[in-house]
Structure 1
Amino acid sequence: MTCLLQVSDPHFGTEQPEVLHALERLAHALAPRAVLLSGDITQRATRRQFAAARAFANRLAAPVIAIPGNHDIPLFQLAARVFAPYARYSAAFGADLEPVFASDHWLVVTVNTTRWYRHEDGEVSPAQVERVAARLAQATPSQVRVVVTHQPVLVTRPEDRQNRLHGREAAVMRWTAAGADLIVGGHIHLPFVRPLDEHFPGCPPMAWAVQAGTAVSTRVRWDAPNSVNLLRAEATDDGAQRVCVVERWDYSAADQAFMPVDLVRLPLASRAAGP
């Protein structure tokens, strides 16, 4: 098996040292093929917070595929927000705001859904939708095709509806038609897995929304502790069915460790090779 570790919304500046250390131990024990860092890496986009986040990423001993979240753009420094919104992010995590990761078992295509003129919610443009679809279409049949956004394409609670990604309807339909298996995100600090076709009529079956909680921050929801997701690519014994296993790991203060608390086996559609 090969796995990816999804770490979302660490909000450096509000991180809890004991949780941070536990996550580092987990990453070393699991040895993921890559770490997906799905936004809100910092709390206030300061240089010190980005430096702490970069040092943490360096300690994970795995490639880190990162995208910015709305908190990773300066909020109170208007000139920086308007004229150089990603300067501090890029200094820490590179100038590519939409990196792609590919291996024998995975294709990960990321999307920068933040905008300097939006405080919390995000959006995806038609050009971004088409860029992602074109890259998905190039996947091999053995690759699990993952799209990473910061803001969610769907939510499960009424109070989170305003946090949904603008442009999500066109994006979900186009990306799943191009072969996306998972659309993973963060932002709302609430972990869940849901079938996309139940929320987007006409969407192909066996495509899934996977949301992560906040990994190490104090900014937890009352009913969702610090958590991360582990994605495992599998195949049935006869090779006829592709499967992605999503494991949720929650931080346990009693154990001072992340512990597995949920496991969902997601059947994936058969995919032809891209052009």
Structure 2
Amino acid sequence: MTRILHLSDTHFGTERKPVVEAVLDVARAIEPDLVVLSGDITQRARRGQFAAARKFVQRLSLPVLAVPGNHDIPLFNLFARVLDPYGNYRRALGAALEPVFETPGLLAIGVNTTRPRRRKDGEISDAQIGRVAQRLRQARPGQLRVVVAHHPVRAKEESDLANLLINRERALAAWAQAGLDLVLGGHIHLPYVLPASA
């Protein structure tokens, strides 16, 4: 059985030590095949916040797939937002903004749905949709096929509909046809499970 520990919106910079320790204890107890960090890893994309996130990832001592969220791009430092929006993220968590993790039982594909020109809304391009669909079609038999993005493709509460990923319907249609099993996301700070189709 494949086990994934999904964490989102950790907002390092606002973390509480007892909560961090509890999450580490859970990770040790369930021994997941993969830990997913689906964005908003930091509160304001500052170096110290990313350093805390990196320390947390190192303490996990498990495979981690991370994608950025809108809080992982500088908000107030406009110079960095324009010239190097993912600089601190890459220094702390690695160069890949759209990583892929694969084992015999799992194919997890990260998608960067953030856009430096947007403050919070997420978007996915046709090129990203196509790249993910192609990779899903290459999955081996028996692999759980998972896409990880920060911005959600479905909402449980009507008030969260405005937070949904732009171009999500095109993405879901293409990915379902390519064999998608599961989409993991965050952004709205509410845990839920919904079918991918409306």
User: Which TM-score applies when normalising by structure 2?
Assistant: 0.98
* Structure 2 unaligned regions, length at least 5: none
Whether 2:103 is the aligned partner of 1:106: answer no
Could you tell me which residue of structure 1 aligns to residue 32 of structure 2?
32
Tell me, yes or no, if the aligned pair for 2:129 and 2:171 is still in contact at 8 Å: yes
Aligned positions of 1:32-51 closer than 5 A: 32-51=32-51
Query: How do 1:1-275 residues align onto structure 2 when only pairs under 5 Å count?
Result: 1-197=1-197, 199=198
Letter matched to residue 173 of structure 1: A
Tell me which structure has the larger Cα radius of gyration: 1
* Aligned partner letter, 2:99: P
Q: 2 CA distance for matches of 1:18 and 1:83?
A: 36
- The answer on whether the counterparts of 1:152 and 1:163 sit within 8 Å (CA) in structure 2 is yes
Deviation at 1:2, TM superposition (A): 2.8
Amino acid at match of 1:89: Y
**Partner residue, 1:246:** none
**Partner Cα separation in structure 1 for residue 85 and residue 142 of structure 2:** 37
TM-score after normalising by structure 1? 0.71
CA distance in 2, matches of 1:102, 1:63: 10
Task: Indicate conservation of the 8 Å contact 2:151/2:186, yes or no.
Answer: yes
Inter-partner Cα distance in structure 1 for 2:113 and 2:194: 21
Q: How many angstroms apart in 2 are the aligned matches of 1:20 and 1:134?
A: 36
Cα displacement string for residues 121-141 of structure 1 (whole angstroms, at most 9, x for unaligned residues): 100000000000000000012
Aligned to 1:251: none
Fraction of identical pairs, as percent: 56
CA contact (8 A) 2:67 2:150 kept: yes
Question: 1:219 aligns to what?
Answer: none
Distance in 2 separating the partners of 1:41 and 1:13: 9
> What is the rounded CA distance, in whole Å, between the counterparts of 1:157 and 1:27 in structure 2?
29
- What's the Cα RMSD here? 0.7
- Paired residue type of 1:65: L
Task: Give the AA of the match of 1:100.
Answer: V
**Distance across 2 between alignment mates of 1:57 and 1:116:** 25
Give the Cα–Cα distance (whole angstroms) in 2 for the partners of residues 83 and 159 of structure 1. Answer: 34
Deviation, structure 1 residue 70: 0.1
Contact 1:28 1:61 in 2 (8 A): no
Contact in 1 for aligned 2:46/2:88 (Cα 8 Å) = yes
- Greater share of helix residues, 1 or 2? 2
Unaligned ranges ≥5, structure 1: 200-275
Q: Which of the pair is proportionally richer in strand?
A: 1
